[in-house]
Amino acid sequence: MSRSEIRVGGLGGQGVILCGTIIGKAASIYDHKHSGMIQSFGPEARGSSCSAQVILSDEVIGYPYVRNLDVLVAMSNDACHKFLPELKKDGVLLYEEELVSFPEGTRPAKAWGIPATRFAEELGRKLVLNIVMVGFFAGVTGLVSRQAAEAAVRDSVPAGTEGLNLKAFARGYEYGRELVGGAA
């Protein structure tokens, strides 16, 4: 059985929950696997710590919480250092490199950073940084296919914003593929 446990963490207003939702939707609806998501967010709409636990599996998911974290997607410094201890030894860390820093010698071996906020701003809207992260996740890990993730993005964002969101996805995906040495 193939089971992948993912945690997306960041601040309210960064689209953490939507990022997790899209990953799960891509896997279950468009890649025909199983997925589950547990979300946690503070009472404020913006600024509070929030996270999503996403499980992807080839089989029916009996337990929807993270036990052995395979991939941590960190969009803020606090979220990164809060959840990093959960990451298993050979787990993958994907982080917003302009918001996350590591004390000397604490950066995990399998860690890839992306300036997602800057990319989103360059594309025209800072609020698509979470979609850049979805693309980065798909590009680096390959846990969801590009086609499935794009379909999930298109399906999850408000009508009229699909174009910019898909550009944001492509920016993150291609950056991720380049980092891991794969063709975009």
Partner 1 sequence: MESVKLPAKFALKNGVEVLVRDMVRADEPAVFEFFRLLPLEDRHFLRNDVTDPIRVHNFMIDDTHDRVRAVVAELDGRIVASAEIDRNHFGSMTHIGQLRVIIARELQHQGLGTILSRLLIADGVNAGIEKVLAETSTENKAAMLALEKMRFRKEATLKLHVKDLAGRKHDLAVYSYDVSHIWDKMEALVADYSPMREY
- Taking the complex as a whole, the smallest distance from the CB of residue 135 to partner 1 amounts, in Å, to 15
**Binding residues among 111-150 for partner 1 as defined by CB under 8 A:** 123-125, 127-128, 130
Q: How far is CA 127 from CA 27, 52, 90, 118, 165, in A?
A: 23, 18, 31, 11, 10
The tokens for 126 are 């800072």
What percentage of the chain's residues is helix, strand, coil (to nearest 5)? Answer: 40, 25, 35
**Binding residues among 58-97 for partner 1 as defined by CB under 8 A:** none
The Cα–Cα gap between 11 and 47 comes to 5
The tokens for 105 are 């010698």
Specify the 3-state DSSP secondary structure of 70. Answer: strand
In total, the chain counts a number of residues equal to 184
- Taking the complex as a whole, the smallest distance from the CB of residue 123 to partner 1 amounts, in Å, to 7
User: Where is 105: in which H helix or E strand?
Assistant: none
Residue 153 contacts partner 1 per CB under 8 A: no
Question: Which region among 59-67, 77-85, 91-99, 160-168 touches partner 1 (by CB under 8 A)?
Answer: 160-168
Residue 46 contacts partner 1 per CB under 8 A: yes
Residue 157 contacts partner 1 per CB under 8 A: yes
Residue 13 contacts partner 1 per CB under 8 A: yes
Under the rule (CB under 8 A), what is the footprint of partner 1?
Answer: 10-18, 21, 39, 41, 44-46, 48, 50, 123-125, 127-128, 130, 157-167
